[in-house]
Amino acid sequence: MRMSAGWLRSVMRFSFALTIGLTAMQTSSAAASEIRVYSGGAPQETLEMLRADFEKRTGHKLAFTFAHVSVIQKKLAAGEKADVVLLPTPLMKATDQAIGLRAEGRAELARIGIGVLIKEGAPRPDVSSADAVRKLLREARAIAVPQPDGITGSHLMRMMDKLGVADEVRGKLKHKPAVDGAGNMVASGEADVGLYLASEVLSIKGAVLAGFLPQELQNYVVYSVGIPAANTTPEPALLFVNFIEDASNRESWKATGFELLDVKK
């Protein structure tokens, strides 16, 4: 008998829901775990959005640590204990070499592109082409961008060099991680424009996303998830990983600017 793709997806969703339900029944008679999740700033809004549903279904509690990706790496290297780690894929590979990650639970999770942030109420700039972005950068009085040592920040420095405006705009740049409130510089008018991963600045009050960088200038960051080898009781962490990567949560990722990858096939 030939089974349709829709039927298969329904079976997979039912199977996942059943797994969650059975685990929740198990945790009702046993001590619930606190799952320590260390993550770069980009997935913060998505994970916070998913927190209540996961905790209600399983009885486990989530303890999030969000910081610039380099800070997360330093915390882990210094011996801080995480049960789950979310970082851009290249940094996750380095983290595996530094502290070791378990084979189970590893996946490339979702990708996010760079958005253009402006003050709410300001005229929306054209960001549809390289020429339009070049014009925007030249006319801006101040530009908020990530630290140049990160994946997005280093890409933006190369982009400005490619556009031929690196020397011209260098004095306008205000380097600050989004997780430390960089979007507020745009909302307050301290910067005219901000260039950040869209998920990091979507919820900034007083600022709006004018759009994404065009494809010829875009740089998608793929976030991966993993469980440190030092986590000797990984079952709750693995349950959390399975939950956030499940297709039933695709719309939550989409609402925060991410594209959930097809990790559940």
Given this model, what pLDDT does residue 1 score? Answer: 44
Distance CA 1, CA 16 (A): 24
- Degrees, nearest 5: CA angle 161-121-164: 10
Torsion sign, CA atoms 100, 219, 70, 244: negative
Domain spans, the chain: 5-111+223-260, 114-212
- Asked, colleague to colleague, whether 5-111+223-260 and 114-212 share their fold, the answer is yes
Buried b (16+ CB within 10 A) or exposed e, 142-180: bbbbbbeebbbbebbbebbeebebeeebeebbeebbbbe
Q: How many helices (H) and strands (E) does the chain have?
A: 11, 11
Note the residue count of the chain. Answer: 265
Strands in 107-112's sheet, in edge-to-edge order, are 61-66, 34-39, 84-88, 221-226, 107-112, 259-260
Contact indicator for 44, 179 with CB cutoff of 8 Å: yes
Smallest Cα–Cα separation from 178: which of 197, 193, 206? 197
Listed residue (110, 104, 61, 102) closest to 86, CA to CA: 110
Contacts of 110 (CB under 8 A, 6+ apart): 43, 46, 222, 223, 253, 258, 259, 260, 261
Please compute, for residue 224, the number of CA atoms within 13 A of its CA located in the half-sphere on the CB side.
Answer: 18
Nearest alpha-carbon partner for 175 in 94, 76, 70: 70
CATH number given to 114-212: 3.40.190.10
Looking up tokens 């140049």 gives 148
pLDDT tens-place values along the chain, 265 residues long: 444 544 444 444 545 555 555 454 444 434 689 999 999 999 999 999 999 999 999 999 999 999 999 999 999 999 999 999 999 999 999 999 999 999 999 999 999 999 999 999 999 999 999 999 999 999 999 999 999 988 999 999 999 999 999 999 999 999 999 989 999 999 999 999 999 999 999 889 999 999 999 999 999 999 999 999 999 999 999 999 999 999 999 999 999 999 999 765 4
CB 238 within 8 A of CB 35: no
CATH, range 5-111+223-260: 3.40.190.10
When the pLDDT of each residue in the chain is averaged and rounded to a whole number, the result is 89
Q: What pTM value is reported for the model?
A: 0.81
